[in-house]
A = this chain, B = another copy of it.
Amino acid sequence: MDQFTENAFNYDAGKYRTPDGAPADIVIFTITSSPRSTKKKSLPHRQLEILLIERKGWPFAGQWALPGGFSNEKETLLDCAKRELAEETGVDSVHIEYFNAYSTPDRDPRGWIISHAFVALVNEKYLEKRKAADDAADVRLFSVEEALKMELAFDHRQILLDSLQQIQRQMLTTTIAKEFLPEEFTIGELYQVIQTVVPSFEEKNFIRKITATRSRQGLIEEVRGHDGELKQSNQYSQRAAQLYRFTDYVPQLSIYS
Name A's B-contacting residues (CB within 8 A): 2-9, 11, 13, 16-23, 55-59, 61, 65, 68-78, 98, 100-101, 103-105, 110-112, 114, 116, 172-175, 194, 201, 203, 206, 209-210, 216, 219, 251-257
In the complex, the answer to whether B103 meets A71 with C-beta atoms within 8 Å is yes
Known: A13-B21, A251-B255. 10 other contacts (CB 8 A): A3-B70, A4-B23, A5-B55, A9-B58, A13-B110, A18-B19, A18-B20, A19-B73, A77-B114, A175-B255
In the complex, the answer to whether B4 meets A105 with C-beta atoms within 8 Å is no
**In the complex, which residues of chain B have a beta carbon less than 8 angstroms from the beta carbon of A8?**
57-59
- Whether A61 touches B209, Cβ cut-off 8 Å, given contacts A105-B73, A256-B194, is no
CA distance A216 to B254 in the complex (A): 11
CA distance A257 to B256 in the complex (A): 15
In the complex, the answer to whether A57 meets B4 with C-beta atoms within 8 Å is yes
**In the complex, which residues of chain B have a beta carbon less than 8 angstroms from the beta carbon of A68?**
4
Q: How far is the CB of A178 from the nearest CB of chain B, in Å?
A: 12
- Whether A70 touches B5, Cβ cut-off 8 Å, given contacts A173-B173, A209-B256, A255-B216, is no
Identify A4's interface contact among B22, B65, B77, B173, CB under 8 A: B65
